[in-house]
């Protein structure tokens, strides 16, 4: 009936018929959740009498983000210990509507009803998210709002927004105008996987102003979703070096924004000006995004240029390093300290530990395989489990000849995602509080967009696989893929009515 599967659901006889004028009340601290529910129900007129829908924050024997929902013919009561739980309960109410009612503009009158149920529910993991790459291909803000709403529907609470890379820079930074004048635009895009010799010859670009990003953050917050920004460093920096070459290791070389996929060897330098640039960017980034976490990339950073750079070699010697490659971990530690000064917590991709030990309070995203995540937990880190064979949605969904282009050589099916367990082997759940214990903070899907140039491509690659990941992140208990498929059949109709599936072929 519901995706992700609730912890407890009991069905009772009868229905709650939603009247044309809604008697909706919100207790203290519950107004945003009640307003969200009202919007999903078509913003119908409010009434002071009749069958009531009550949304309240109330002490309860529920974990953080938990909620309790009771639907009977005369009343709907949604309670939770905090606003986050109320948001999740609203999404359960949304899914309990007949699929046709998910489009308020066209739903027939008899669609507005809920079955009588009792639900007691809470998430398995604190961090349940999706990484969306808007650097390779810019995505319109209107689509990002739609995407956030679909995350909320599945009780996912993090949108990790990959804002910068070799192929584009998407965030406005005041005082650094060339980042949006130069770094946000490329002349063409590679056709096919990294190493291809074909290019489409079509200019591509775009960026988000800080004002519009703040609006997006507020839109997400009203749905219980946090946006975690990612600013790549010190690698994947070719786009910014096209605008400010003096921040790299070859200041005399004028570089275009990269039109290829893969890994560029052009990385940031380690001189003071490069570090100050990153600090400036991070300071403005945290002023836009109130998220406790900020992702600083750190992966796929070839250190070849540092090996031959006199500046880098001198810096490595001053720090007592035996090789300039150790500057990689040092660089990330400098940025972590900057974020700590701003009251934030740094996140980076876990392979950054290869070139220097990272502090235990650096959160790591383990993308290579589960064993790397296990080792990071053992070293004392909080970890976001994101092994690529289970969570990368830019991989093909099948071997069908009509499958749109995707990253080559790997197929990740709905069943593959559903079979993924972020806590496999008995890993502990991390405590997200300050000084909390190490363990698995959560999990997230990754959608890199080399092969997803449009919103329809993103929709095609996301659903229904994201439904399976949402269940792995939220639901406790034994998995039953056949039972999940039964719920997914109904859920596909919800997605169709919501427009979450591609409007036409994404090929």
List residues with catalytic annotation: 165, 236, 300
Cα separation of 276 and 269, whole Å?
Answer: 11
Strands 382-385 and 363-366: parallel
Count the neighbouring beta carbons within 10 Å of the beta carbon of residue 415: 12
Selection from 357, 327, 356, 361 nearest residue 346 by Cα: 361
C-alpha torsion angle, residues 143, 147, 152, 154 (rounded to 10): 150
| Cα–Cα distance for residue pair 13/115, rounded to 1 Å | 8
Look at residues 218, 215, 226 and name the one whose alpha carbon lies nearest to residue 129. Answer: 226
Alpha helices in 439-480 (DSSP H): 455-462, 465-474
Q: 414 and 390 in contact (C-beta within 8 Å)?
A: no
Task: Output the six-digit token pair for 102.
Answer: 């998910």
Q: What angle do CA 350, 155, 4 make, to 5 degrees?
A: 100
**End-to-end CA gap in the chain:** 31
* Residue 292: φ, ψ to 5°: -65, -30
What DSSP state is assigned to residue 319? T
b/e map 121-149, b = 16+ CB within 10 Å: bbbbbbbbbbbbbbbbbbbebebbebbbb
| Contact criterion met (CB below 8 Å) for 227 and 216 | yes
Rounded to an integer, what distance in angstroms lies between the CA atom of residue 413 and that of residue 369? 17
Number of H helices, E strands in the chain: 16, 22
What's the rounded Cα separation, in Å, for the pair 215 and 221? Answer: 10
């Amino acid at each position: 009936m519901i995706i992700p599967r609730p912890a407890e659901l009991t069905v009772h006889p009868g229905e709650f018929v939603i009247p044309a004028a809604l008697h909706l009340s919100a207790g203290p601290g519950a107004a945003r959740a009640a307003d969200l529910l009202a919007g999903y129900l078509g913003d119908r007129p409010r009434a002071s009498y009749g069958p009531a829908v009550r949304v309240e924050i109330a002490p309860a024997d529920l974990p953080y983000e938990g909620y309790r929902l009771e639907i009977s013919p005369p009343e709907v009561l949604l309670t939770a210990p905090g606003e986050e739980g109320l948001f999740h309960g609203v999404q359960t109410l949304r899914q309990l509507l007949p699929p046709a009612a998910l489009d308020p503009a066209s739903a027939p009158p008899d669609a507005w009803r809920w079955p009588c149920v009792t639900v007691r529910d809470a998430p398995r993991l604190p961090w349940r998210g999706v990484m969306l790459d808007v650097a390779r291909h810019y995505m319109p803000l209107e689509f990002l709002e739609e995407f956030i709403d679909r995350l909320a529907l599945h009780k996912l609470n993090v949108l990790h927004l990959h804002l910068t890379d070799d192929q584009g820079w998407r965030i406005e930074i005041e005082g650094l105008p060339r980042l949006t004048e130069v770094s946000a635009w490329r002349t063409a895009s590679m056709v096919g996987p990294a190493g291809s010799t074909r290019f489409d010859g079509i200019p591509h670009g775009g960026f988000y102003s800080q004002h519009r990003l703040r609006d997006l953050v507020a839109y997400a917050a009203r749905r219980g979703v946090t946006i975690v920004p990612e600013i790549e460093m010190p690698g994947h920096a070719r786009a910014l070096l096209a605008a400010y070459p003096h921040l790299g290791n070859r200041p005399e070389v004028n570089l275009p924004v990269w039109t290829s996929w893969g890994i560029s060897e052009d990385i940031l330098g380690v001189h003071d000006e490069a570090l100050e640039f990153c600090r400036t960017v991070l300071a403005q980034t945290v002023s836009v995004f109130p998220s406790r976490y900020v992702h600083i990339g750190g992966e796929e950073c070839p250190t070849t240029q540092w090996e031959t750079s006199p500046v880098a070699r001198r810096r490595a010697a001053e720090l007592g390093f035996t090789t300039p490659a150790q500057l990689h971990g040092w660089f990330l530690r400098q940025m972590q300290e900057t974020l700590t000064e701003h009251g934030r917590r740094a996140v980076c991709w876990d392979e950054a530990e290869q070139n220097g030990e990272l502090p235990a309070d650096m959160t790591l995203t383990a993308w290579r395989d589960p064993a790397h995540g296990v080792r990071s937990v053992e070293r004392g880190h909080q970890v976001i489990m994101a092994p690529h064979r289970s969570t990368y949605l830019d991989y093909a969904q099948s071997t069908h000849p009509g499958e749109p282009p995707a990253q080559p050589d790997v197929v990740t099916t709905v069943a593959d995602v559903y079979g993924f367990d972020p806590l496999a082997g008995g890993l502990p759940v991390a405590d997200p509080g300050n000084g909390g214990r190490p363990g698995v903070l959560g999990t997230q899907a990754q959608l890199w967009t080399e092969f997803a140039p449009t919103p329809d491509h993103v929709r095609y690659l996301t659903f229904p696989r994201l439904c399976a990941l949402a269940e792995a992140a939220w639901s406790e208990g034994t998995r039953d893929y056949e039972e999940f498929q039964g719920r997914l059949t109904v859920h596909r109709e919800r997605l169709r009515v919501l427009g979450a599936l591609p409007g036409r072929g994404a090929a």
